[in-house]
Amino acid sequence: MLRLLFWLTCALVFLASSVASAAIVEHSFHVKNLTVRRLCTEQVVTAVNGSLPGPTLRVHEGDTLKVHVFNKSPYNMTLHWHGVFQLLSAWADGPDMVTQCPIQPGGKYTYQFKILKQEGTLWWHAHVSWLRATVYGALIIRPRSGHPYPFPKPDKEVPILFGEWWNANVVDVENQALASGAAPNISDAFTINGLPGDLYPCSQNRIFTLKVQKGKTYLLRIINAALNNELFFKIANHNMTVVAVDAGYTVPYVTGVVVIGTGQTVDVLLAADQEVGSYYMAANAYASAAGTLFDNTTTRGIVVYEGAPSSATPIMPLMPAFNDTPTAHKFFTNITGLAGGPHWVPVPRQIDEHMFVTVGLGLSICPTCSNGTQVSASMNNFSFVSPTTLSMLQAFFFNVSGIYTPDFPDTPPIKFDYTNASINTLNPSLLITPKSTSVKVLKYNSTVEMVLQNTAILGVENHPMHLHGFNFHVLAQGFGNYDPVKDPKKFNLVNPQSLNTIGVPVGGWAVIRFIANNPGVWFMHCHLDVHLPWGLATAFVVENGPTEDSTLPPPPADLPQC
């Protein structure tokens, strides 16, 4: 009897501590025009609460986040909480016309969702057109009270957000490209925490400075919020220790360079263990597509040790070449998940859905374009277009037909030598990609294994593919065409990294696996915003499960209508 009372007391204490550690974290976002001076010019941008980047949101695992969005901008607006699972809260996920109709100018909407089974660094951003160029911010999830990090506690935590800047209205840049059928103008600068750094015109004093003390350790929460560029990041004379990616803990990995795709997050420990002085941190593009224009500038900030003389010239790191794919591939493949760590999910072994999906560029018919075609993009030769009258999630919930078609194929319509550019560019049957709103329907709790295969039809590059609503295990990745006999022997089924965004290697492939345990409609797309309006996307419709705890609840009363 005494033993039973003891265990009951322990259970009640644990339950009380869990309840006490959960809170409702509430914010108001006012989205409106903001005049910003960058690179010698003033530009009117769309921003949240008058800041660029927008507010950093800090929560604990188990908290409920409630964000009231007031759209005072001239544009339609949605917000996406990048990497958040949205367990039974798909209405709050945010992609335009996928889970909601946009918030109209003058309108408002409250995003509310609970953050469960995740710790680390995520972020939020606009999910309409190119507005996320300036509408974005960090979302930091700390462990519940009393739960430590699975690494030595840092002395300070610092968000590092990379952005991309145009000396133009980004909506106009996108619209001009869509109208002409050509690629959009490249950006004029990269930024660190909204500041371009001293290599750009009129920017000598617009540089992010991180002040450190010798002997202390800093957790840098790195986010690549740039629209169209993967990035190399280095700090002169310093190594960094990767401890998490995409809000999933990793086996500590020491590196002198971080490679980060658009949409990805990387948490690193920086030990201030060098001589007292000043050191540049710098980021420039990893541009894997041969022969295409890209922003080849460099943004930089400064790490300044306490006691460093103000006259000291900072040391500059030697940056990788923009096309240094071996360095990028080494970084992406050397990271492993922290098996058995907080919120670790073992790799599912039973597979219910096998998919082989090609991702790449092509052309689509465009009668209004100058040459009758425009650059397009596709997955399994389906080039995605968003619906216009109702969101896909509303169509799923209310069983409305005609909004999407459940016919996304498990394999491409034509098998070919996927990465042979010299052959594929001459094959007109591979170039043209039909437009559709095609989805893959999944049974609740089914396990999906997907081979993502790059193609070399109209150029070849690294594609950062982002899946909403889930993390997936990255079992393997490599170059050339995926070999279904040899390559499964390389699968890491013990401690693979867990991501929400995977950079499919240039001219190569990646294999991912996830459990479809969250009912709703979940977008999968390339996180290069130049490719999203071209159609490099699809969606998964995950059916309801057998119980109330596995059934999507009704939409909130204030859900925006089209």
pLDDT of residue 42: 94
In angstroms, the CA 137 to CA 38 distance is 19
Strands 508-516 and 383-384: unpaired
Instruction: Count Cβ atoms within 10 A of the Cβ of residue 426 and give its class: 0-12 exposed, 13-18 middle, 19 or more buried.
Output: exposed
> In the chain, what percentage of residues exceed pLDDT 90?
79
pLDDT at position 477 is 97
Determine the average pLDDT of the residues in 230-256.
98
pLDDT at 184: 84
**131-157 burial code (b ≥16 CB/10 A, e <16):** bbbbbbbbbbbebbeeeebbbeebeee
User: What does the pLDDT read at residue 530?
Assistant: 62
Percent of the chain surpassing pLDDT 70: 93
pLDDT score, position 9: 41
Residue 327 CA to residue 257 CA, distance in Å, equals 8
Q: Are 266 and 298 in contact (CB under 8 A)?
A: no
The DSSP element (H or E) to which 178 belongs, if any, is helix 170-180
Q: What is the pLDDT of residue 19?
A: 46
As a whole number of angstroms, the distance between CA 103 and CA 81 comes to 16
d(CA 229, CA 521): 27
Rounded Cα gap, residues 165 and 197, in angstroms: 12
Q: Which tokens go with 496?
A: 């693979």
Please determine, for residue 296, whether its predicted confidence score (pLDDT) is greater than 50: yes
User: What band does 529 get if pLDDT is binned at 50, 70 and 90?
Assistant: low
Q: What is the pLDDT of residue 373?
A: 75
Selection from 351, 175, 141, 169 nearest residue 265 by Cα: 141
pLDDT band at residue 536 under the 50/70/90 scheme:
confident
pLDDT of residue 471: 97
Cβ neighbours of residue 215 closer than 8 Å, sequence gap 6 or more: 272, 273
pLDDT at residue 430, as a whole number: 75
pLDDT digits (tens, 9 = 90+) for 265-292: 999 999 999 999 999 999 999 998 777 8
pLDDT tier, 157 (very low <50, low <70, confident <90, very high otherwise): very high
User: What's the average model confidence in pLDDT over 380-401?
Assistant: 95
Question: What pLDDT shows up at residue 81?
Answer: 98
Euclidean distance between CA atoms 418 and 421, whole angstroms: 8
Burial class (CB in 10 A: 0-12, 13-18, 19+), 214: middle
pLDDT of residue 398 exceeding 50: yes
- Which pLDDT score is estimated for 523? 96
Mean predicted lDDT score pLDDT of the chain: 92
Contact 322, 296 (CB under 8 A): yes
Round to whole Å and give the CA distance between 500 and 472.
6
Q: Is the pLDDT confidence value at 136 over 50?
A: yes
**b/e 230-269 (16+ beta carbons within 10 angstroms → b):** bbbbbbbebebbbbbbbbbbbebbebbbbbbbbbbbbbbb
pLDDT in tens, 48-97: 999 999 999 999 999 999 999 999 999 999 999 999 999 999 999 999 99
Average pLDDT over residues 421-438: 77
Q: What is the pLDDT of residues 171-221, one digit of tens each?
A: 998 888 777 767 788 999 999 999 999 999 999 999 999 999 999 999 999
* pLDDT over threshold 80, residue 342: yes
CA 552 to chain centre: 24
Report whether pLDDT(427) > 80: no
Question: Is residue 523 within 8 Å of 468, Cβ to Cβ?
Answer: yes
CA–CA distances in Å: residue 211 to residues 168, 199, 239, 538: 33, 20, 17, 44
Tell me the pLDDT band of 10, cut-offs 50, 70 and 90: very low
- Cα atoms in the 13 Å half-sphere on the side-chain side of 279: 22
Stated length of the chain? 562
DSSP string across 220-288:
EEEEE--SS-EEEEEETT--EEEEEETTEEEEEEEES-EEE-TT-EEEEEEE--S-SSEEEEEEEEE--
pLDDT at 424 over 70: no
Mean pLDDT of all residues in 294-307:
96
In terms of Cβ atoms closer than 10 Å to its own Cβ (0-12, 13-18, 19+), residue 24 is exposed
What local confidence, expressed as pLDDT, does residue 119 receive? 97
Judged against a pLDDT cut of 50, whether residue 1 lies above it is answered with no
**Taking the CB of residue 187, how many other CB atoms lie within 10 A of it?**
24
Query: 243 or 457, which is more confident?
Result: 243
In DSSP terms, 478 is beta-bridged to: 509
The stretch 339-344 carries a mean pLDDT of 96
Question: For position 345, what pLDDT does the model report?
Answer: 96
Element (H, E) at 29: strand 24-38
Nearest Cα to Cα of residue 221 among 195, 255, 256, 258: 258
